[in-house]
Amino acid sequence: MYAVTLPRSLMAAVLVLALSFAVECRADRLGPLPQNDPTNAEALPTQLEGADIQPNLGAQLPVDTQLIDQDGRAVRLSDYLSDGKPTLLVFAYYSCPMLCTLVLNGLTQGLKALPWTAGRDFRVLTVSIDPRDTPQVAHDKRLNYLRTYGREVEERGWEFLTGTPEQVSRLASTAGFHYRWDESQQQYAHAAGVFFLTPEGKLSRVLYGVSFDPQDIRLALSDASGGKVSTLTERILLFCFHYEPSVGKYVLAAKKTMRIAGIGSTLILGLFVGALFRRERRRAATERVVSQGASGAA
């Protein structure tokens, strides 16, 4: 009987394989990511009370909401939800001195980095919360952002809308966007964020802030479209990342990522170990034939 002596490279491969299984087991023991504790949150300044985002994820937005587009035409929210595309919804007002501009600028930069184009693959609706805004103001604001966007946008691809206080308030409150008029500052107090709607008009995701990572936008659009607006890359990323409502961002799902790493390394190392075993068996067989030949010759 011939004993097979494992070379050091094979022993190292076996050791790494064992470690990969250990990583996989450790991943299964990891608990969920810590959630934000609202009891620890600092109180909002008086000026911001009643002006925050409390997203009603999964809520059906009122698709019969009546609005006016930048060309003065009467439209409904349902007019933008008829062809199966996801929609980005932004609440702003067109004379906003700072925050709305920051949100729209940040969104525009994020959209410019996407492989998809507004109108063709998704829609953007900017809805004014200020009843003083007119279609002409909306028209001028739209032209400004379309120039910055720098792509040809199909009809109704990115709209700037106005409406009555009642209609806009109903739409915003259903989504979870709360705002109020600050008489002392003569401007609206509101939070910063972008809402993502499914083709049926349900609230799918909300991204907070004034700058938006293109990857977060891609994942939110993919989620909102039910995978229709996505590539293999997005589907893989959606497995590795999950949406965290408390922060309004996509965060790395440690368990899933470590599981993928463990499975991948297991497969690769398994193939490597198998190849080494086959090579050792061939070498042993060759040595045996040579030894038998030498014995016969003697």
235-270: per-residue pLDDT in tens?
444 445 555 766 666 566 544 444 544 545 555 655
pLDDT band at residue 297 using 50, 70 and 90 as cut-offs: low
**32-49 mean pLDDT:** 47
CA angle 168, 61, 66 (to 5 degrees): 40
Cβ-based neighbours of 17, under 8 Å, separated by 6 or more: 265, 266, 269, 270, 273
Residue 66's pLDDT is: 98
Residue that wins the pLDDT comparison between 237 and 66: 66
Residue 82's pLDDT is: 81
Give CA–CA dist 187/184, Å, rounded.
Answer: 8
pLDDT for 82-126, tens place per residue?
A: 888 999 999 999 999 889 999 999 999 999 999 999 999 999 999
Residue 51's pLDDT is: 87
Please give the CATH topology (third level) of the domain spanning 47-211: Glutaredoxin (3.40.30)
Residue 27's pLDDT is: 38
Residue 21's pLDDT is: 40
pLDDT of 277 strictly over 60: yes
Residue 130's pLDDT is: 97
Q: Tell me whether residue 289 is exposed, middle or buried, using C-beta atoms within 10 angstroms of its C-beta: 0 to 12, 13 to 18, 19 or more.
A: exposed
pLDDT for 119-164, tens place per residue?
A: 999 999 999 999 999 999 999 999 999 999 999 999 899 999 999 9
Residue 87's pLDDT is: 97
For the chain, the structural domain boundaries read: 47-211
Q: State the virtual CA torsion across 213, 124, 48, 101 in degrees, nearest 10.
A: 80
pLDDT of 38 strictly over 90: no
Residue 287's pLDDT is: 64
**210-224 mean pLDDT:** 93
Highest mean pLDDT out of 17-31, 206-220, 265-279: 206-220
Query: What integer best gives the mean pLDDT of the chain?
Result: 78
